[in-house]
Chain A
Amino acid sequence: MSMPAPRYRFTLDEWHRLANTDVFRKDRRLELLDGEIYDMAPIGSSHHGAVNFLTRFWSTQLGTRAIVSVQGPVIAPPRSEPQPDVALLRDRPDFYRQAHSQPEDVLLIIEVADSSLDYDHAKLRFYARAGMVEVWIVDVLDERVEVYRAPRGDRYDYVRAARRGESLACLAFPDVSLAVDDILG
């Protein structure tokens, strides 16, 4: 229940400091959105299967053309650090060991939504604000992939839904096409 007062917002620095403490149990999946900490939904098997497929697909299709990050933190300034299911990052020799990615390093974000569609839709504004160029939401229940491009303010100007039987490619790699049927299984 909410109180009639503003809630405290953490900065990215504070979030990183928190990550270095033992405050949260290690088995907790948490992400920072607009300065607040969210519990991420547990991962069901259809969700997990889609992530596994996407990981193999992008890794084999792209090789060294990109780094495939799975459920890793992606900095989305000013004060978000979501953990999308899959992110394609610009290739970097250190594999982002020295420092987290910045929005300009992020070529594609993919969120797989089985029980969390509302939550993943709500996250879009943080991706848009940070200028993430492309986001896909794999809607497992409605059997479609939503494609978001052209971030402007809190929104994406270009929105399209791809269904079974259709294929799609991302802006960064227009030559690499994947079938919605393969993503959904």
Chain B
Amino acid sequence: MSMLAQRHRFTLDEWHQMIDAGLLRDQHVELLDGEIYEMTPIGPPHQSVVDRLTHLLVTTFGDRAIVRVQGPVPARPRSEPQPDIALLRRQADFYRKAHPEAPNVFLVVEVAETSLAYDHAKLRIYATGGIQEVWIVDLRGDRIEVYRDLRGESYGDVRISERGESLACLAFPEVLLAVDAVLG
């Protein structure tokens, strides 16, 4: 539609104020590049992997990191996605005053069941926002895509981890996680 250019792009401030005002409270939405998107409803296969990953990361990292599940992660300048999992630098107040900024986000994990195209499109948002590492758990492909090496709007290092292999994130290179443990 020729109106595209004039569609209002929300700033992060406007977004936070809208949420504070109680709007969108019951909606499953996220802010991407200044626009509000409906997140696809999550079916059991997707949710089970999120829960499995949560358990794995919490038990593996303990006090060394905070595991945020389907919570907001600001990706400046004007996005606030809600990735399935975000591994955050530990902070005593658990980010009570404000959501974590990119330097405090070790890793984002998106689980893709029907949403692979959407999760791929979100990579640009994460890269622009300065998120250093993203994993996409591709349920249909039965594998994990690993994105590192931030270069502006994209990641320069993309690799695939398959069943039988292990992987670690940049922030904790010594902590190996089995792909089988993630995929279940």
Contact surface of A with B, Cβ cutoff 8 Å: 1-8, 14, 17-18, 21-24, 30, 33, 36-41, 118-119, 121-123
- The reply to whether A8 and B29 contact each other, CB–CB distance below 8 Å, is yes
* Residue in B closest to A28 when the chains form the complex, CB atoms: B8
- The reply to whether B17 and A3 contact each other, CB–CB distance below 8 Å, is no
* Residue in B closest to A8 when the chains form the complex, CB atoms: B36
**Residue-wise interface mask of B (17-42) relative to A, using a CB-CB cutoff of 8 A (1 in contact, 0 not):** 11001111001010011011111100
Question: In this assembly, does B118 line the interface, its C-beta being within 8 Å of a C-beta of chain A?
Answer: yes
* Residue in A closest to B38 when the chains form the complex, CB atoms: A6
Give the bracket for the number of chain B residues in contact with chain A: 20 to 34
Contact surface of B with A, Cβ cutoff 8 Å: 1-3, 6-8, 14, 17-18, 21-24, 27, 29, 32-33, 35-40, 117-118, 121-122, 124
10 smallest A-B Cβ distances: which pairs? A8-B36, A37-B8, A118-B2, A21-B21, A23-B17, A122-B3, A5-B37, A4-B117, A6-B38, A38-B6
Please, how many angstroms separate the alpha-carbon atoms of A23 and B39 in the complex?
23
* Residue in A closest to B27 when the chains form the complex, CB atoms: A8
Please, how many angstroms separate the alpha-carbon atoms of A105 and B174 in the complex?
70
Given known pairs A36-B7, A39-B8, A122-B3, the reply for A6 and B18 (CB within 8 Å) is no
Q: B1, B23, B29, B33: which contacts A1 (Cβ < 8 A)?
A: B33
Please, how many angstroms separate the alpha-carbon atoms of A91 and B98 in the complex?
50
